[in-house]
Amino acid sequence: MIRVRYLAALAMAAAIGSASAQTPPAAPAAPAAPAAGPAAAAPVDADPVVAIVNGEQVRASDVIYLYQTLGESVRQMSFDLLYPQLLQSAVERKIAAQKARVVKMDQRADVQKRFQFWQERVLEETMLNEAVERALSPEALQKAYADLLTQEAGQEEVAVKHILFDNPEAAIAVVKELDAGGNFDAILARVTEQGIGRGGAMEHFKRDEIVDVFAAAAFRMRPGEYTTTPVRSDFGFHVILVTDRRFSPPPPFEQVQDTLRQDLGRRLVDEFYEDLVAGAEVTRFNFDGTAMGAEPAMAPTPVPVPGPAR
């Protein structure tokens, strides 16, 4: 079963944990310092102050965290365009937090409970991110690639041309025409123009990548052979001509590395949680606190969930 939390963690597998995957481009690097002399420029602050609110600093990282909470469609917009509103939101949040602390809102039990929830979530996600980042190494990807090549080694592929008809009579007539020496491409062009058939060339495919009855017929033939009996599928009646047959070439690493990264990331996330709970002493209860297996005393009242931040 795919974990619900993996919907969020999948992105971590591609650019785990760091802000770089979802954050705006980094600030330009500082110019190289002069070879000598006391006037060498100080390095640029990696997390500069972007606002000061009642004496408290708002840093670039605060804006980045806000940016990461935006929906994917919003993050497609230019960061420069979003920055003024992000900065305003960061300032407003800072002011709200300052005023809440004045009235000791941060010491209320319900707020402390939410603090604990988010603190534990951040700790969990950070631990997960760092564990997957360590394991999702170039060497691990190369091993996954080697495993993929082993799995797909020697798989046969065929390329075909086919004509699909709605009724068997038209398909049988084309087979007879081919038997008499007719040209497949010319017949395809004619029946397509007449509107009684349709089809074309199909690039190389493996046996499990196509409808079973179609694959069974195609893989029985050698290049140049065609089906002497129309092949019936859920789509209609096919006349199939095999144009090539080969063993599949290995896909280049660059072509499959994103898929390998996602698949390996998914496995690493599952392994992380399996290892995490191994050996832990856990006792579970029903939502109302009664023992598991007992009939709950009453239907649970939904717990209100705070809405998203601005």
Contact between 157 and 245 under an 8 Å Cβ cutoff? The reply is: yes
**Beta strand residue intervals within the chain, DSSP E:** 49-53, 56-59, 156-165, 197-206, 231-233, 236-247
Q: Could you tell me the two tokens for 235?
A: 């789509």
What's the mean pLDDT in 74-85?
92
Specify the pTM: 0.56
User: Could you say which DSSP state residue 289 is in?
Assistant: S
* CA proximity to 226, closest of 207, 209, 241: 241
Which residues have C-beta within 8 Å of that of residue 268, sequence separation ≥ 6? 13, 131, 132, 135, 136
pLDDT of residue 173: 96
Residue 300's pLDDT band (boundaries 50, 70, 90)?
low
What's the mean pLDDT in 224-232?
96
| CATH code assigned to 155-247 | 3.10.50.40
* CA proximity to 185, closest of 196, 173, 209, 201: 201
Q: What is the pLDDT of residues 155-193, one digit of tens each?
A: 899 999 999 999 999 999 999 999 999 999 999 999 999
- CB-side exposure of 175: number of CA atoms within 13 Å? 18
13-27, 60-74, 171-185, 249-263 — most confident range: 171-185
**Residue 208, burial from CB neighbour count under 10 angstroms (0-12, 13-18, 19+):** exposed
pLDDT of residue 154: 73
- How many whole angstroms separate alpha carbon 88 and alpha carbon 63? 9
Q: What is the pLDDT of residues 12-23, one digit of tens each?
A: 333 333 333 344
What ranges do the domains of the chain cover? 115-153+256-300, 155-247
Between the CA atoms of 264, 270, 271 and 277, what dihedral angle is there, to the nearest 10 degrees? 170
Residue 153's pLDDT band (boundaries 50, 70, 90)?
confident
* CA proximity to 15, closest of 262, 253, 255: 262
Which residues have C-beta within 8 Å of that of residue 22, sequence separation ≥ 6? 11, 15, 67, 68, 75
